[in-house]
Structure 1
């Protein structure tokens, strides 16, 4: 296995410079006491070479990086961080609402512990395209056993005072009522529950979010991926989704498209994610304030990164995406 040399932080700065990134001072002849130099050293020692390099790709060509300073590169990282915070805030509201709606749907129909019997609420026959399996009693039994083991652990490790109180007062069961357990699940767990549901329940749930079942599951899978990117400090602004989610009909005219043979493909960049979030939030909280999200997107635009790079047809399309939402006094980008 080939070994690679660990570069000192100053040498990492020099490597950026050799590839075209400007610093505003001569790295070969710089005083150790220079404040700008010390700031840049601290930055690269904190964020890391490859973390920053990931945000430089839009400025890269065969000859190296063009029209990019180190300070602009660092600013781009922090602008993405602000965007991720705004996106994650909205996704958390979507996740909370999803869990609440699932808990009410299953609890109202099957009682507080009816969810433990998967035959009551799961699709039990035919092919389930959402989990890519032909359903029979063995598949249902396996799904149920896996889930029951998982939620026992979640209940035991929960920090929720309500869960601890229920566990203390009920010695006859290791399981929680549906209303308590839903708050202990990950977004991925909740999405899997939706996929397992019988179609009539999926339809009822999707209607609560103003969409079809296919749209709903497609959008949930998309925001689950995005949530993971946000939680793990990933690059969101330059995202290119491998699996293209279904496009909300009301937003199609705002998005960049490409011709792919006999069909038209919509963008797989940031714009489609934003449209999905706005669409879902419109059914959850029509008065949700998107100001931070709008401002974060606006700050991403420069000579190398137009609205089209992010999947929007124009700057106006960005604002139009939020036109039915409460974005405060935001009037231009």
Structure 2
């Protein structure tokens, strides 16, 4: 298909609103609508138009500007909820990673043992992957930083052997993405299994879910859309659950709802008294006009949604 020149001119806020009205959007309070456009931007809001347009660029009859803003607000609060869950899960993963490795090898500084990591290799795009050296570089930079973390400074001021701090300090330097790469870089499958066992998962599934956690965490951190989204990094399907899970009709792992199920499963291992179901119910009830099926909740075949709340995973 031949490419063409982009020639859409910039529009003033008032003209943006007129464009929406011409396309059938009902705008009872124009001054308030312009205030929202000044805060959020037309382009950012446009991602929330599509479910309300049976015909491209024409809003379904009765769609209001307020409905669009409600959908946007729902998505924002959903990201905050998901981000909070990921933080709690990440802390639990760090804890298990450190504990399982340190106690199994009876070594507070196991991260300095090159033999515990895979040898350097080239990935599919020709870049070198070297988990051990990457982690050592992170530690080295933290020690040499002009204003090091308090715990790093305390260690280097008080100890000279081993040269690096213990693993439980070093792991505080890692992002969730680096944590995911380090797990993938462990040489021994039994090490991976001990960590994954805590979360009642096979190591391959756990590794996939950790990668997906990193991806969705970045979506939340950069305020991108989570509602009505296909995930670019899909969490692996859980075929043999060792704890309460969902039925196979929910196995659309490209959509956000499946990822929410992943969060709930992991949280149930990290903190069985978690409040994800309560908070998710509160969010759905707060925005009753937002079509939550766009999260990826499947239909019952008769025009309604499957009752996700009745699934074993969500009963506690």
- TM-score for both structures, normalised by structure 2: 0.82
Aligned to 1:145: 133
Q: What value does the CA root-mean-square deviation take over the aligned residues?
A: 2.9
Aligned to 1:84: 79
Alignment: residue pair count: 296
Instruction: Decide whether the 8 Å contact of 2:250 with 2:258 is kept in 1.
Output: no
Deviations 1:85-120 (A, max 9, x none): 11111110110011111112222215222212221x
CA–CA distance in structure 2, aligned partners of residues 270 and 299 of structure 1: 19
Aligned to 2:111: 115
The Cα of 1:132 is off from its aligned counterpart by: 6.6
Mark the CA change 1:73 to 1:155 in structure 2 (over 3 Å): closer, same or farther. farther
CA–CA distance in structure 1, aligned partners of residues 284 and 178 of structure 2: 30
Aligned to 2:314: 323
Aligned to 1:16: 20
Aligned to 2:152: 163
CA–CA distance in structure 2, aligned partners of residues 98 and 202 of structure 1: 12
Instruction: Decide whether the 8 Å contact of 2:226 with 2:256 is kept in 1.
Output: yes
Aligned to 2:283: 296
Structure 2 portions without partners, runs of 5+: 300-304
> Is the counterpart of residue 68 in structure 1 residue 60 in structure 2?
no
The Cα of 1:169 is off from its aligned counterpart by: 2.6
> Is the counterpart of residue 224 in structure 1 residue 209 in structure 2?
no
Aligned to 2:90: 95
Mark the CA change 1:293 to 1:309 in structure 2 (over 3 Å): closer, same or farther. closer
The Cα of 1:122 is off from its aligned counterpart by: 1.8
Aligned to 2:302: none
SS in 1 for 2:247: helix
CA–CA distance in structure 2, aligned partners of residues 294 and 182 of structure 1: 34
Deviations 1:181-216 (A, max 9, x none): 111210010111111112010011110111111111
Aligned to 1:260: none
Q: Bigger CA drift: 45-54 or 315-324? A: 315-324
Aligned to 2:49: 56
What is the correspondence of 1:195-234 to structure 2 with a 5 Å cutoff? 195-197=184-186, 198-234=188-224
Q: Bigger CA drift: 92-101 or 7-16? A: 7-16
CA–CA distance in structure 2, aligned partners of residues 269 and 309 of structure 1: 6
Structure 1 portions without partners, runs of 5+: 25-35, 134-138, 258-265, 326-333
Mark the CA change 1:143 to 1:268 in structure 2 (over 3 Å): closer, same or farther. closer
Q: Bigger CA drift: 156-165 or 172-181? A: 156-165
Instruction: Decide whether the 8 Å contact of 1:191 with 1:221 is kept in 2.
Output: yes
SS in 2 for 1:294: helix
